[in-house]
Structure 1
Amino acid sequence: MRAIAWLMLLVISPWASAQSDAQQWPTQDGPVTVVWENPDDYRDVKAASGRQDRYENHVFATLGKQFQKSLGPLLNDDEKLVITVSNLDLAGDVRPSFGATTNDIRIVKSVYPPRISFRWSLLDGSGNEVEGDRVELKDLGFERGPATARFNNEPLKYELAMIERWVRDEVPPVLAARR
């Protein structure tokens, strides 16, 4: 009887702790807040190796910091910009290595461009939305271009360059006028 109780405890314990450990995705706060909405539904944020949750955490933190660094200087002191990401597709596609290594491989080709979908909202000091819009970014020429060279040593260089290019070339007029 005692063995059955221990066996049940061993079986139930990992399941119970897994249920209580809800994944907390990084949400960058400050003048520019980045929220990752339903990341389990994103098109491609697959890890080629390592733990999936750690990889996603790294991707979300890196891209969120890029949004903050690029857009923060464009805001007035009392304003806040909220970016809610609804979909993400990293450059490339993860494929199995079929025994060549223990890890999968991310194949980066022009047929797998990076994409990101988000909504931005500019809030005034009272928290009222001044302006906002939906943005669908896709970089079909991601493998070439000077912006990509700037991020050459970064693992997410194509996505970082795509965000930087949007801020430089297509940022909303309400923010662009402040440059």
Structure 2
Amino acid sequence: MSKVIAFAMAAGLMLPITGLSAANAADVKVTWEEPSKYVDVQAADGSQKRFQENVFARFEEIFAELASELPSDQTLHITVTNVDLAGAIEYHDINGVPRELRIVRGHDFPMMQLSYKLVDSDGEVIQEGESRMRGRELPGQSRLSTPSSSRGGNLLEYEKPMVTEWFKNEFKQD
């Protein structure tokens, strides 16, 4: 990620992110609108800037993966207006050291608000809308406590099923 994009994210500016398409997939352009106003993209025990960059990059990867189901001559424009990651930041004493941890419990569902527009190669709108998606409890999610920094490769493990379900409902393939 360039320093310009990282600075713009930290400043809460709208950020168009382009070029996230796989071969034979629709192009995806994601704009993060005023991320400083999002409900919760808070880091636990680490760099807020780096955590936010990682979260946004992972969401963009998820959108790109899902767009592989759309025709390659289409472009999906997504403007994210709010994010609330699963769980909440809590303070806990770990071996005598106070630490911030993202605690995820069965009722701490993620949420995302966005608007989208799917356009063809001529710029004609195929489909557009606004969505407020909310995650729901999945098997094995009833109670889990993990620091966000230790989720590693599972960053957005609770958010990905929510976004996947939204995508499949919005862009049903006939």
TM-score clears 0.5: yes
Give the Cα separation in 1 of the matches to 2:50 and 2:16.
11
Q: Which consecutive unaligned segments of at least 5 residues does structure 2 have?
A: 1-5, 10-14, 22-26, 142-150
Paired residues for 1:1-179 under 5 Å: 22-24=7-9, 27-29=17-19, 30=21, 31-74=27-70, 76-97=71-92, 100-142=96-138, 144=140, 154-168=154-168, 170-173=169-172, 176-177=173-174
TM-score of the superposed pair, with normalisation by structure 1: 0.72
- The amino acid that maps onto 1:81 is L
Alignment deviations for residues 66-111 of structure 1 (CA, whole Å, 9 cap, x no partner): 011112331x232111111110000000012357435301111123
CA contact (8 A) 2:75 2:118 kept: yes
Helix, strand or coil: the match of 1:62? helix
Give the Cα separation in 1 of the matches to 2:34 and 2:124.
24
CA shift for structure 1 position 22: 3.3
- The amino acid that maps onto 1:95 is E
Number of equivalenced pairs: 148
Cα 1:48/1:125, change in 2 over 3 Å: same
Larger Rg: 1
Helix, strand or coil: the match of 1:56? helix
CA shift for structure 1 position 127: 2.1
Q: Which consecutive unaligned segments of at least 5 residues does structure 1 have?
A: 1-20, 146-150
Greater share of helix residues, 1 or 2? 1
Cα 1:97/1:154, change in 2 over 3 Å: same
Helix, strand or coil: the match of 2:7? coil
Cα 1:134/1:123, change in 2 over 3 Å: same
Helix, strand or coil: the match of 2:68? helix
- The amino acid that maps onto 1:48 is A
TM-score of the superposed pair, with normalisation by structure 2: 0.74
CA shift for structure 1 position 143: 5.6
Query: Percent identical across equivalent pairs?
Result: 28
Partner of 2:148: none
CA contact (8 A) 1:81 1:121 kept: yes
RMSD: 2.6
